[in-house]
A and B are shown apart, each in its own frame.
Chain A
């Protein structure tokens, strides 16, 4: 697929209904590589990725998306595990010192998952990002406290006649201001 980055970013969308078509291992490897090269605070790389292909486990993982919406099963899921022992600061901060109130390592996981997501789009693979309920997801994936699973990336190919949510974004004018913050109202 040949497209510039903005086209790629616009093409990414949440897929709710996947077909049975499987993803090639060579594509999966490229997607994981994109995650591996994602930025992280102080290059802490506070992540571990669990690749799930087992249908029974995928069915159960989908059900952990309590704050998301109903999906049918993708062919692969990549769970992004946040490793607390790679975060040397307080809480989940990746640097020592005062707690800034911003936990960089969660964002690092987000950037890795997004890198993988965009790589998938570039390969013509559909996806959705799931925020799982922690207790259930940790049980299913054998994750011990204090590690977290902030995000799971579901990958596959969209089913024929799949439901499409209307895609809309606030305008640039609404989400930007110059030099200092000016709130333009909420959605």
Chain B
């Protein structure tokens, strides 16, 4: 398990079959939390999962995870940052459209049984879209995760722009935690 006791305790108490969980994280603990969460999913389930990396290139995330000795073979990365990737387990989106994120997740889940979806992080959506649209998108994604019967982790960094989105996440998630 990782070093973050709060996160570890939280992850011990969730439903491993399905559910939607919001992780509200301080900027200083953000990268470490993402790694520990991915490590937990990877080791606990030993099943394929999706890492939606909206905040940074997925190549960076993959390196970060490998450094933590996480086997990334079972992880499918979706990002909209890195155009240079030509690997089977990387999907690069062509635009910053919420619809495209949704279509990419559906596409992957339709053809492979995924155990979990890790969304890192929601803050960036607020830069490109109005709050109301992001709120709707989040509700939509949560419904989608419940229908697909996958675990979904929504990561949001505790920043000023996230203040109005966090209540929505808490309302629609099964559980949430502040780290």
Residue positions of A touching B, CB distance < 8 A: 16-17, 59, 63, 66-72, 133, 163, 165
Contacts and interface: CB of A to CB of B under 8 A. Distances in A.
Contact of B144 (A17, A59, A66): A66
Q: Give the interface SS of chain B, mostly helix, strand, loop or mixed.
A: helix
B165 interface: no
Q: Give the interface SS of chain A, mostly helix, strand, loop or mixed.
A: loop
Contact of B99 (A63, A66, A71, A133): A71
B26 interface: no
Contacts, number: 38
B143 A66 contact: yes
A105 B92 CA distance: 41
A68 B133 CA distance: 17
Interface of B: 95, 97-103, 106, 133, 136-137, 139-141, 143-144, 146-147
Given A69-B106, A70-B102, A70-B137, A163 B143 contact: no
A130 B143 CA distance: 15
B97 A163 contact: yes
Given A69-B99, A70-B102, A72-B133, A133 B139 contact: no
Contacts of A71: 99
A17 B136 contact: no
